[in-house]
Structure 1
């Protein structure tokens, strides 16, 4: 059984409130999914800043919680059946917190599955493809002379944006009511600014996307979650 008091991660990131959900994260596109959901749901939690440096995410302490050395990760001392639970992968964390809080996962079993499919769409499509586009446009991949990798991810990003734009036609949120699908997707749409790729993917041609992002950013819990954990 997981013992939160003696878990190796507490040696580096000690818990002041071990009775609360412990969040280990950094405010990236994936990291803020967890903090926004925790703010939206009202579940009590304690955030810990885990930087993206190897000294943090590849430390023995963090690897004891997430062997994949990626943020975010959580420990819930009051997990299913009252037993502690640790989780990594932002999509899995969103689903867990939605079930635990009873919020943002729809009203019916059919709603849950429809929402889950859009979370998976982000996890398997939007996140990886946008991330690769950023690599080949802004970061080390931009030095590669062969244009094909960059063109591939530009075209795939355009395709995914079109899917979202069509889905949003006539509705405010991606799967009906506001849900974890929106919490998963919109941080990655915001990431297009960070990667400086809005112009090359034709952002202005997707009429439903900017209003969607604006609605999301108008939510007070979103505004708080975007800044958690604090970098200071």
Structure 2
């Protein structure tokens, strides 16, 4: 059974492209400007930080709750410390980074709203990716099987999952509106990692997007 110190090391089952990199991480990397100062929260094994360092020449830092993840990152030469997104972001000063990133980890935090608010306090922009619990396959499994669904992005059984707060794309959009966050960009990915069209209505993304990536800023 997973323990709480393992919950932010949740990258092994995410969708990958032919080159081996998680598809959502490649989308995140495209949103980051070269040379930016970046904090990757819940950075796991450091895959995203390595991509950003090698392709965008960023000044990258990370925090990871799992000691195993920290060790993997340090072995790759990455500047990562052990820390908890739910408690340690409060210690960072305002506007310390250009981007604060939370990839496939928001649903594994105890206080998602507080975490998101801290991200936008300490960073000029926040990038968040998460699995969409409103996807049609999940709805059908709940409807016809009457069980908590298991998918490639949500692979664990209900009693053994690292996730605490499941949400849909619509839920996250509502949260952004509630706390006054501007959505600069948003991408929904289908089961094969392809991007859904940007000119379709939100309900379409909520129904057919398996995961989503949002680039956020504070409203001025």
Q: Answer yes or no: same fold by TM over 0.5.
A: no
Q: TM-score, normalised by structure 2?
A: 0.29
Max Rg structure: 1
* Larger relative contact order (CA 8 Å, sep ≥ 6): 1
Q: TM-score, normalised by structure 1?
A: 0.28
Higher helix share: 1
